[in-house]
A and B are shown apart, each in its own frame.
Chain A
Amino acid sequence: MRISLSWLKDYVDLKGFPTKEIVSKLTLAGLEVEDVFDGTEIYKGFIVALVKDKRKHPNADRLSLCTVFDGNNDLQVICGAPNVGKGQKVVFAPVGTVIPKGDFTISKAKIRGIESNGMICSEDELLLSDDHEGIIVLDPKLKPGTKITKALGFDDVIIEIGITPNRPDALSHIGVARDLAALFNRKLILPKIKLNESKEKIFSVASIEIQDTVNCPRYSAKVVKNITIKESPDWLKNRITKIGLRPRNNIVDITNYVMHECGQPLHAFDLDLLSGNKIIVKSTKAESTFTTLDSKTRKLQPKSLMICDLEKAVAIAGVMGGENSEIKESTKNILIESAYFNPSSIRKTAKSLGLSTDASYRFERGTDPNNTIYAAERTAQLISELAGGEILSGKIDVYPKKIKNKNIKIRFERIEKVLGYSIPSKSVSSILKKLGMKIVSTSPKVITVSPPTFRPDIEREIDLIEEIARIYGYDNIPTVSKISITLGEKNDEFTFKDKARDIACSLGFYEMINNPLQNKNDSSLTGSPIEIMNPLSLDMEYLRTSLLPGALSVISKNIKHGEKDLQLFEIGDVFNKHSDNEIRKFEDFVENQNLIYILSGMIKPKEWNQNERIANVYALKGMLQSFERKILLDNVLNDSYYHSENSCFDLFFAKKLNDKEIGSGGRISKEVLKQFDIQQDVFAFEYSLDELKKIKIENRKYSEPLKFPKVIRDFAFIFDKTIQYEDVENFIRKGGSELLKSVKLFDLFESDSIGKDKKSLAFNLEYYSEERTLTEEEVEKEFNRLIFAVTNKFNAKLRGN
């Protein structure tokens, strides 16, 4: 919301306070100043000029060659606007002026071969509006050479304030002035109303009936007759232009002006267009349509609050007036509406229409139900001053049940308890009074106040404590340098995750963070995705069901950038629906925290004394094993290998604990790689971090280093190729006695020399006992027994014999 400081000074005297201080105080008190436009700075250099002559540019059809008088000299200026004309007074930017839009400086330039010495400006270039159709044509009475800041009243500071939803009272100049008066300890000055009313009584020409008193608790009106619709005077046009409104005619401008002055939205109806000269406020029962004054036909939901006459709807209450009762040039008699509507009713209507107006914005936040008469009379007063006409005597005010705020008690002890600091009781009551609260009673411990109805946000003691704190100044509350710490169970739900991250990094993986919002294709690749009702785009319509698609996109993008050797990991939540039914409770879906490892290209580049290592499924397996050894213990999870293809992997394996799957992965299938436009092998494995976390690790205990020597034996066998390694290893482990402590494969060899369908596997065996030194004989016996068993079991041939 824009506030003009010069306008503000009508209501509070801030003489002597620099803009900077005003801005800072407002910001600290919760009316955050987001921007400051200082007109004298922004419009420095712009002057009024006279277009003395206008000819066609000899080399361009659309350009005009103008002679412009700046008060001293005639200048040749080229102008592209269609509406420039001889005799006009215009806004002129001489050479050296900085144009607000785009922040560029006007210099002497040749346009299509002809010199131009400055620029004639449009509203757009001055940031007054988006209108760049034509140049601004000024009042012909203005003198060439006059500063624009003076001519248009731009010698003002406009501040843009972000008003939080709890402060509807501050959505006007008087509202902001009230806070300033409290902050600077000044008096708030409200415009005095003096009405010259005619003898004719308002009741003889209009009547009002509220049928829906829940959604319209109050409806007030004034009538003014025999007005003249015309342009507003300059001061009014200037004031509303500066806060970003476009002047239309005196009546519309006045209603806008009074709304920005006191916060009450107003509407003027053409009284002669109201059938039966009657206003009926009621809610619709069925769906209906209505044409608003912007000539748009809008569809209304049932239960929308409408302003009607005897025959038809004439306005959507609190949102926008209708075309059928709009003020026109011919309008003579008007009825001024000044009402209080139920905020939630207006919000519902405005939301369903997708229409937010200055009026609905204020009504849905809550206007002051007890200020309708003041606003109506203020409007009537200005209309009679600026549009002529007679104000009919009396007012119509339908207000069946007066809205009062309840009294609130505030305990000094509580202020101190919440803030940690005591504020003198004198300051407390003075602050509350300045903010418009009525002090009902005071005692040494408690003050009872009645808050004003323009502060719907103040309902409880704690709300008053905030008011006191913010006006007293948050900075005046001490910053303690000692804090209390609660002793008790300290829980860090991130410990496990952080450990997983550490290990992943030590294994050479970089962490990525991907957007969980994905397109339908990617998210359905790995599960049954949950759809977003109002997505930003089709690319972000669903939640990810696994970390894989996001990781593959990253691999693909990086390869395109020339980064082909990739080792990445991610920890994040994935979401899966349990069924196709709509989600109504938490049990209808599962949100799981996962960890993915993904690798592609070279794990180690070739170096001058080492060969490269290329990512493959064994590299992946080994890394996972290292990870598990660090995070759990060795051999906690069982690997399961599937030779049937999974939809995403052509080499696929899973890890299980007691038949519960903890994770799965392998080599990404060619089809999936193609979808992500990847031309190199990619390997990935995704764990359920939640499941990993649940695994109970037995207490780790120290075991003494071995005191007795190990006996090492190697053997190699030739097997049929169809025999799986894991079967052989398991057989050796089981077949060895308790002295056999370790079995390691150290060579795999295939060659025609040992037979086309044969392979040789070489093992390294470790024998030892924790209690004694083994004898050569007992190991030899044991070893020979194993050779015999393997030979028999697999029909294998011992090599080297």
Chain B
Amino acid sequence: MLDEKITQISNDFDSELQSVQSLQQLEELRIKYIGRNGLVSSLFDDLKDTSKEEKPALGKALNSLRNKVITDFSSLKLKLESSSTSKESKIDLTLPGNQEQIGSRHILTQTLDEIKTIFKGMGFSIQEGPELESDYYNFEALNFAPDHPARDMQDTFFINKDFVLRTHTSPVQIRLMEKHKPPVRAIMPGRVYRNEAVSARSYCMFHQVEGLYVDTDVTFAELKGTLVSFAKQFYGDNLKYRFRTSFFPFTEPSAEMDITCFLCHGKGCKVCKQTGWLEILGCGMVDPNVFKYVGYDPEKFIGYAFGMGIERTAMLKYGITDIRVFFENDLRFLKQF
């Protein structure tokens, strides 16, 4: 008797559940079946009247019916609820989000960051020094003899005859070597000044990165290796390069490094002045005279040094044709990077 009833109610519930469309109908169904006086609940009353032998099996069947009803009911409820919210409040997801402003580093700083990262990876420290320098650090200790035409290579802003706005970051080499005994391995970024008319190609101040490595067994071949590795990391693996003889009073031998113009790939264009090459840095082996100034034994120690301009590098890399835009700080420029 009771087992037939259980089957009957179970089947009825299944079919009625299928026709449920709204939460309200579902609630009515809930009351009808598992409410206090619901159909399933009333079956439990009937259980009292069954025989001892039948009771355990019927009880089990009844319990499983009740669990099934509750489970089916809950899952349908969840389904109905989620569909009703999206129908009820229509949120327009296409409206724009609220933006937070994040600033950015100046493109010259970003360029320097890249250079720094590469050299830090090659074991270089990072050091700095003052912009208002003495003639001693800017020239004399770097082997620029007084009254030597080499001094004309860099147009200088003078404060007076003893103090200048540094024309290169090389004086930091001297300061570093005065403070530390070899080995010394560092790059030295900073701002430098040149008394040159302001134009699209030149500005009265710009930024350089200087490099120095002094130890007992440093070679020109290693300098080449280090700089080629830098250039490949910075400009790309496929580049071709060459080292040209040059002259700096504080290095001997001296060289300048060119890479193939990446605009014309060496064919010759306006940017590389039809040569197919772009100069990216100057370098050389530290002149023994410089070691004498800082008290290093030039027979025992040997070193290399290099220097590059950051503006020029950034101009090449980002296609900037007028150096002045770096220092105008037009927000429309700053926001591009």
- Docked Cα-Cα span, A740 to B57, in Å, equals 64
Q: Is the CB of A420 within 8 A of B149?
A: no
Q: Is the CB of A32 within 8 A of B244?
A: yes
Name the CB-closest residue of B to A586: B134
- Given contacts A165-B149, A480-B221, A494-B189, whether A557 and B328 have CB atoms under 8 Å apart is yes
Name the CB-closest residue of B to A489: B125
- Given contacts A348-B147, A482-B225, whether A561 and B253 have CB atoms under 8 Å apart is no
Give the chain A neighbours of B122 by CB distance below 8 A: 483, 485
Give the chain A neighbours of B160 by CB distance below 8 A: 533, 582-583
One of B130, B189, B287 near A591 (C-beta < 8 A): B130
Give the chain B neighbours of A494 by CB distance below 8 A: 116, 126, 128, 189
A540 at the interface (CB under 8 A from B): yes
B68 at the interface (CB under 8 A from A): no
Q: Is the CB of A30 within 8 A of B243?
A: no
- Given contacts A484-B215, A494-B126, A504-B103, whether A573 and B191 have CB atoms under 8 Å apart is yes
- Docked Cα-Cα span, A561 to B335, in Å, equals 14
Q: Is the CB of A481 within 8 A of B225?
A: yes
B168 at the interface (CB under 8 A from A): no
- Given contacts A419-B220, A508-B101, whether A164 and B287 have CB atoms under 8 Å apart is no
Q: Is the CB of A460 within 8 A of B288?
A: yes
- Docked Cα-Cα span, A34 to B152, in Å, equals 19
Q: Is the CB of B221 within 8 A of A479?
A: yes
Q: Name, among A478, A480, A504, A583, the residue most crowded by chain B CB atoms within 10 Å (CB to CB).
A: A480
Q: Is the CB of A165 within 8 A of B247?
A: yes
A:387-431 near B, CB below 8 Å: 417-421
Give the chain A neighbours of B253 by CB distance below 8 A: 418, 462, 465-466, 469-470, 474
A:513-543 near B, CB below 8 Å: 513-517, 530-536, 540, 543
Cβ distance B203 to chain A, nearest Cβ, rounded Å: 8
A566 at the interface (CB under 8 A from B): yes
Q: Is the CB of B219 within 8 A of A493?
A: no
Q: Is the CB of A365 within 8 A of B331?
A: no
- Docked Cα-Cα span, A608 to B189, in Å, equals 46
Q: Is the CB of A491 within 8 A of B127?
A: yes
Name the CB-closest residue of B to A168: B149
Q: Is the CB of A166 within 8 A of B331?
A: no
Query: Hey, what's the 0/1 contact readout for B98-131 against A, CB within 8 Å counting as 1?
Result: 1111111110110001001000101101111011
A506 at the interface (CB under 8 A from B): yes
A652 at the interface (CB under 8 A from B): no
Cβ distance B162 to chain A, nearest Cβ, rounded Å: 7
- Given contacts A166-B150, A466-B252, A485-B122, whether A515 and B205 have CB atoms under 8 Å apart is yes
Q: Is the CB of A466 within 8 A of B131?
A: no
A569 at the interface (CB under 8 A from B): yes
Give the chain B neighbours of A511 by CB distance below 8 A: 103-106, 109, 334
Q: Is the CB of B183 within 8 A of A510?
A: no
One of A489, A493, A510, A532 near B334 (C-beta < 8 A): A510
- Given contacts A469-B253, A493-B128, A516-B205, whether A166 and B247 have CB atoms under 8 Å apart is yes
- Docked Cα-Cα span, A543 to B285, in Å, equals 34
A347 at the interface (CB under 8 A from B): yes
Q: Is the CB of A165 within 8 A of B219?
A: no
One of A30, A34, A165, A512 near B244 (C-beta < 8 A): A30
A194 at the interface (CB under 8 A from B): no
One of A480, A493, A532 near B158 (C-beta < 8 A): A532
- Given contacts A417-B302, A583-B163, whether A516 and B131 have CB atoms under 8 Å apart is yes
B260 at the interface (CB under 8 A from A): no
Give the chain A neighbours of B123 by CB distance below 8 A: 485-486, 490
B312 at the interface (CB under 8 A from A): no
Name the CB-closest residue of B to A564: B331
One of B131, B228, B285 near A479 (C-beta < 8 A): B228
B272 at the interface (CB under 8 A from A): no
A113 at the interface (CB under 8 A from B): no
- Docked Cα-Cα span, A347 to B193, in Å, equals 24
Name the CB-closest residue of A to B215: A486
B198 at the interface (CB under 8 A from A): yes
- Given contacts A474-B245, A515-B204, whether A480 and B126 have CB atoms under 8 Å apart is no
B30 at the interface (CB under 8 A from A): no
A733 at the interface (CB under 8 A from B): no
Give the chain B neighbours of A646 by CB distance below 8 A: none
Give the chain B neighbours of A738 by CB distance below 8 A: none
B195 at the interface (CB under 8 A from A): yes
- Docked Cα-Cα span, A165 to B151, in Å, equals 9
B54 at the interface (CB under 8 A from A): no
Cβ distance B331 to chain A, nearest Cβ, rounded Å: 4
B246 at the interface (CB under 8 A from A): yes
- Docked Cα-Cα span, A356 to B336, in Å, equals 46
- Specify the main secondary structure of chain B where it touches its partner: mixed
- Docked Cα-Cα span, A100 to B326, in Å, equals 34
- Given contacts A27-B244, A462-B252, whether A419 and B331 have CB atoms under 8 Å apart is no
B255 at the interface (CB under 8 A from A): yes
Give the chain A neighbours of B205 by CB distance below 8 A: 515-517
B224 at the interface (CB under 8 A from A): yes
Name the CB-closest residue of B to A457: B247
B319 at the interface (CB under 8 A from A): no
Query: Hey, what's the 0/1 contact readout for A540-569 against B, CB within 8 Å counting as 1?
Result: 100100000000001001100101001111
- Docked Cα-Cα span, A484 to B162, in Å, equals 39
Name the CB-closest residue of A to B130: A591
Name the CB-closest residue of A to B153: A165
Name the CB-closest residue of A to B198: A536
- Docked Cα-Cα span, A439 to B162, in Å, equals 43
Q: Is the CB of B224 within 8 A of A480?
A: yes
B48 at the interface (CB under 8 A from A): no
Give the chain B neighbours of A164 by CB distance below 8 A: 153, 246-247
Q: Is the CB of A533 within 8 A of B149?
A: no
- Given contacts A501-B109, A543-B132, whether A28 and B149 have CB atoms under 8 Å apart is no
Give the chain B neighbours of A659 by CB distance below 8 A: none
B197 at the interface (CB under 8 A from A): yes
- Docked Cα-Cα span, A586 to B136, in Å, equals 12
Give the chain A neighbours of B90 by CB distance below 8 A: none
Q: Is the CB of B147 within 8 A of A344?
A: yes
Cβ distance A591 to chain B, nearest Cβ, rounded Å: 5
Cβ distance B298 to chain A, nearest Cβ, rounded Å: 8
Give the chain B neighbours of A343 by CB distance below 8 A: 147
A312 at the interface (CB under 8 A from B): no
Q: Is the CB of A485 within 8 A of B204?
A: no
A783 at the interface (CB under 8 A from B): no
Query: Hey, what's the 0/1 contact readout for B274-294 against A, CB within 8 Å counting as 1?
Result: 000000000001011000000
A261 at the interface (CB under 8 A from B): no
Q: Is the CB of B330 within 8 A of A533?
A: no
Name the CB-closest residue of B to A517: B204
One of A348, A478, A554, A557 near B221 (C-beta < 8 A): A478
- Docked Cα-Cα span, A756 to B122, in Å, equals 69
- Docked Cα-Cα span, A470 to B252, in Å, equals 11
Cβ distance B210 to chain A, nearest Cβ, rounded Å: 13
- Docked Cα-Cα span, A530 to B160, in Å, equals 11
Q: Is the CB of A474 within 8 A of B255?
A: yes
- Docked Cα-Cα span, A35 to B274, in Å, equals 9
- Docked Cα-Cα span, A770 to B189, in Å, equals 49
Q: Is the CB of A30 within 8 A of B157?
A: no
Q: Is the CB of A418 within 8 A of B302?
A: yes
Q: A166-B247, A505-B102 are in contact. List 16 more A-B contacts (CB 8 A).
A: A27-B244, A30-B247, A165-B148, A418-B285, A419-B221, A475-B243, A480-B219, A483-B226, A489-B125, A505-B105, A510-B106, A511-B104, A530-B159, A535-B157, A536-B204, A558-B331
Q: List 6 A-B contacts (CB under 8 A).
A: A465-B253, A469-B253, A477-B224, A480-B225, A510-B334, A533-B159
Of all A-B residue pairs in the complex, the 10 with the closest CB atoms, nearest first, are A420-B219, A420-B221, A30-B245, A485-B123, A164-B247, A466-B253, A512-B329, A480-B225, A508-B101, A470-B245
Q: Which residues of A contact B (CB under 8 A)?
A: 27-30, 32, 34-35, 164-167, 343-344, 347-348, 364-365, 417-421, 460, 462-463, 465-466, 469-470, 474-475, 477-486, 488-494, 498, 501, 504-517, 530-536, 540, 543, 554, 557-558, 561, 563, 566-569, 572-573, 575, 582-584, 586, 589, 591, 603-604, 607-610
